[in-house]
Amino acid sequence: MRWRIVLEYDGTGFVGWQWQPEGRTIQGVVEQALAKFLGHESRVTVSGRTDAGVHAEGQVASFDAVPDREPFEVRNALNALLPHDVACVRAERAPADFDPRGWSWGKVYRYRYLDRSARSALLRTRAWHVRSLDDRAMHAAAACLAGAHDFTSFRSAGCLANHPNRVMESFSVTRDGDVVTLEARGQGFLRHMVRIIAGTLAEVGHGKRPPEWVADVLAARDRTLAGQTAPPHGLTLVSVDIRDAPPPWSSREPMVDG
Amino acid sequence: MRWRIVLEYDGTGFVGWQWQPEGRTIQGVVEQALAKFLGHESRVTVSGRTDAGVHAEGQVASFDAVPDREPFEVRNALNALLPHDVACVRAERAPADFDPRGWSWGKVYRYRYLDRSARSALLRTRAWHVRSLDDRAMHAAAACLAGAHDFTSFRSAGCLANHPNRVMESFSVTRDGDVVTLEARGQGFLRHMVRIIAGTLAEVGHGKRPPEWVADVLAARDRTLAGQTAPPHGLTLVSVDIRDAPPPWSSREPMVDG
């Protein structure tokens, strides 16, 4: 029996999703909790690995186990066995061939900046501290990102995806007081794509570049023209759109994104 | 020269505001940072002490120091010397007789519940985890709290205030997804007042009591009739309304509230 779980985590205390011989990983603590619960080892598969410091509200993962438990029992057992910075939001039985990577129809990422002079105590692990962002210029600059594009300029050197074409369903920049938030909805993302876009839009927000520059960077297909990769702690994987079948374009592509 | 500072803190790692011989306190770390910066000890006075686990976005405090620094230098020095879970949002020169307790014209507190089956990793230190809250019933029940009242029913046994009468300027209950938020604006608060109200409204939210019950509890002036004191980590002191003179009703009252 295959199970699907939705995980929330605070990435601050982790070196990333993927199991490593040294360092605390989300995969590691989830597999540890599962082993205690099930009485045997079980490998966890994920919709996309997240890097050290990146948070998730709705990461989707799967594992195989005997079907003798109710979904709420699986969820409650995981919440009792997982450390405080990882929670199982939901558990459910999945089709036998369910694959959280291949069956993802889309993802929503959020990137948060804190725009003020003084650093923050409450958002220290949740937002990138910057000063004087023009969020309207950023929103205008980001309009070019919506749609199907070759995102080579916003792809890290280590990206293993087969091709750089992605569909960005929507992209917005909004402000609530000192907090400026990017929201990216797309069918898929390249490695570090949202963080490179966040670093690039920050240059527009700071007035170092005009809004039109972002369209030029996108068209150039050259990573060296874009801005820095924004720090990981501003990024949250909000949700993964999982349906009862893989999407027509599925190719089991990028394992690491955001 | 008297200085006024606005402080933000994550209360999770503190045993409260007030200095204690054992345990990490906000007053303790602020006075430590000031001593390093000024080269001499300086006592910090606050608009109202907060309890262990309670957060602040806009706590107001004051201290005396020689006036040879610019406000931004004081703010930046404190942010360099304070631990990560306390930040100085603003520093400014204040009148010589400024008193953050006596000159407070009002405060805003926020109390957050997380209403869902599974616990949360990201809100674990910021919201009280409960299940199945009827936020509309809570909002209706809370209508009786606005205005001038004797809040004896919502006052902890250890409250040192001279009298139990307070003016609640507004009180609202709103929902955003799984998060239900109380916002209380008042000229002043009794000890544990917001947390006892939060615990009482939770009983209405859970359907254990009808909305009208809260008005009965208020009228009875009897703490034993109200609900439990809700846990501290859901509470945040959002702001203190400081003006250039004390309010007409000031009596240097309650040192500990929320």
pLDDT digits (tens, 9 = 90+) for B161-176: 889 999 999 999 999 9
* End-to-end Cα distance, chain A: 30
In this predicted structure, the answer to whether residue B254 has a pLDDT above a threshold of 70 is no
Q: Which residues contact B76 (CB under 8 A, 6 or more apart)?
A: none
Cα–Cα distance between B189 and B101 in angstroms, integer? Answer: 12
Q: Do A117 and B85 touch (CB under 8 A)?
A: no
In this predicted structure, the answer to whether residue B109 has a pLDDT above a threshold of 70 is yes
pLDDT tens column, A118-161:
999 999 999 999 999 999 999 999 999 999 999 999 999 889 88
B78: left (phi over 0), alpha (psi -120 to 50) or beta: alpha
Cα–Cα distance between A113 and A197 in angstroms, integer? Answer: 13
What's the pLDDT band for B140 if we cut at 50, 70, 90?
very high
What's the pLDDT band for B255 if we cut at 50, 70, 90?
low
- What pLDDT is recorded for position A6? 98
Residue burial B178-195, b: 16+ Cβ < 10 Å; e: rest: bbbbbbbbbbbbbbbbbb
pLDDT tens column, A161-210:
889 999 999 999 999 999 999 999 999 999 999 999 999 999 999 999 99
**Which stretch of DSSP H or E encloses residue B80?**
helix B71-81
**Which stretch of DSSP H or E encloses residue B37?**
helix B26-38
More confident position, A251 or B52:
B52
Minimal-distance CA residue of chain A relative to B86:
A121
CA B192 to chain CA mean position, Å: 9
Minimal-distance CA residue of chain B relative to A6:
B118
Size of interface A-B (CB pairs under 8 A): 60
- What pLDDT is recorded for position B253? 61
Cα–Cα distance between A125 and B45 in angstroms, integer? Answer: 29
A20, HSE (Cβ side, Cα atoms, 13 Å): 13
Q: Which residues contact A227 (CB under 8 A, 6 or more apart)?
A: A196, A199, A200, A201, A202, A203
Characterize the bridge pairing of strands B235-242 and B55-64.
parallel
Q: Which residues contact A45 (CB under 8 A, 6 or more apart)?
A: A61, A62, A63, A99, A100, A101
Q: Do A84 and B122 touch (CB under 8 A)?
A: no
State the amino acid at position A208 in one-letter form: K
In this predicted structure, the answer to whether residue B250 has a pLDDT above a threshold of 90 is no
Q: Measured between beta carbons, which residues in chain B are less than 8 angstroms from residue A121?
A: 8-10, 84-87
Closest CB to B121 among A86, A90, A119? A86
Q: Measured between beta carbons, which residues in chain B are less than 8 angstroms from residue A85?
A: 121, 124
pTM of this prediction exceeds 0.90? yes
Cα–Cα distance between B210 and B204 in angstroms, integer? Answer: 6
A158 near A102, Cβ under 8 Å? no
Q: Measured between beta carbons, which residues in chain A are less than 8 angstroms from residue B87?
A: 118-121, 124
Cα–Cα distance between A218 and A197 in angstroms, integer? Answer: 10
In this predicted structure, the answer to whether residue B107 has a pLDDT above a threshold of 80 is yes
- What pLDDT is recorded for position A174? 98
- What pLDDT is recorded for position A251? 60
What's the pLDDT band for A255 if we cut at 50, 70, 90?
low
- What pLDDT is recorded for position A123? 98
Minimal-distance CA residue of chain B relative to A80:
B119
Q: How far is A25 from chain B (nearest CA, A)?
A: 15
Q: Measured between beta carbons, which residues in chain A are less than 8 angstroms from residue B116?
A: 89
In this predicted structure, the answer to whether residue B66 has a pLDDT above a threshold of 90 is no
- Mean per-residue pLDDT, B112-130: 98
Active site residues of A: 51
**Which stretch of DSSP H or E encloses residue A129?**
strand A128-130
- What pLDDT is recorded for position B21? 87
- Mean per-residue pLDDT, B57-78: 93
pLDDT tens column, A43-76:
999 999 999 999 999 999 999 997 688 999 999 9
Average pLDDT, chain B: 95
Tokens linked to B62: 């004051």
Q: Measured between beta carbons, which residues in chain B are less than 8 angstroms from residue A55?
A: 122
Q: Do B124 and A79 touch (CB under 8 A)?
A: no
Minimal-distance CA residue of chain B relative to A117:
B89
Active site residues of B: 51
Which of B114, B119, B233, B236 is the best residue to mutate to test the A interface, defined by the most A CB atoms within 10 Å of its own CB? B119
User: Among A235, A172, A165, which residue's Cα sits nearest to residue A199?
Assistant: A235
Q: Measured between beta carbons, which residues in chain A are less than 8 angstroms from residue B124?
A: 10, 84-85, 87
Q: Measured between beta carbons, which residues in chain A are less than 8 angstroms from residue B89?
A: 116, 118
**Which stretch of DSSP H or E encloses residue A56?**
strand A55-64
In this predicted structure, the answer to whether residue B87 has a pLDDT above a threshold of 70 is yes
Cα–Cα distance between B83 and B78 in angstroms, integer? Answer: 9
CA distances from A159 to A46, A229, B176 (A): 17, 13, 36
In this predicted structure, the answer to whether residue B30 has a pLDDT above a threshold of 70 is yes
In this predicted structure, the answer to whether residue A254 has a pLDDT above a threshold of 60 is no
pLDDT tens column, A227-250:
999 999 999 999 999 988 899 876
Cα–Cα distance between A242 and B5 in angstroms, integer? Answer: 48
Minimal-distance CA residue of chain A relative to B124:
A84
What's the pLDDT band for B251 if we cut at 50, 70, 90?
low
- What pLDDT is recorded for position A218? 98
Cα–Cα distance between A215 and A220 in angstroms, integer? Answer: 9
Q: Which residues of A touch B (CB under 8 A)?
A: 8-10, 55, 57, 72, 75, 79, 84-90, 116-122, 124
Cα–Cα distance between A128 and B137 in angstroms, integer? Answer: 38
Q: Do B8 and A121 touch (CB under 8 A)?
A: yes
State the amino acid at position A218 in one-letter form: L
A47 near A38, Cβ under 8 Å? no
In this predicted structure, the answer to whether residue B92 has a pLDDT above a threshold of 60 is yes
Characterize the bridge pairing of strands A128-130 and A104-115.
parallel
Cα–Cα distance between B61 and B18 in angstroms, integer? Answer: 12
Torsion angle (degrees, nearest 10) of CA B14, B16, B21, B27: 90
Q: How far is B250 from chain A (nearest CA, A)?
A: 30
Closest CB to B119 among A72, A87, A119? A87
Q: How far is A87 from chain B (nearest CA, A)?
A: 5
Q: Which residues contact B155 (CB under 8 A, 6 or more apart)?
A: B161, B164, B190, B191, B192, B193, B196, B223
Q: Do B9 and A121 touch (CB under 8 A)?
A: yes
- Mean per-residue pLDDT, A212-240: 98
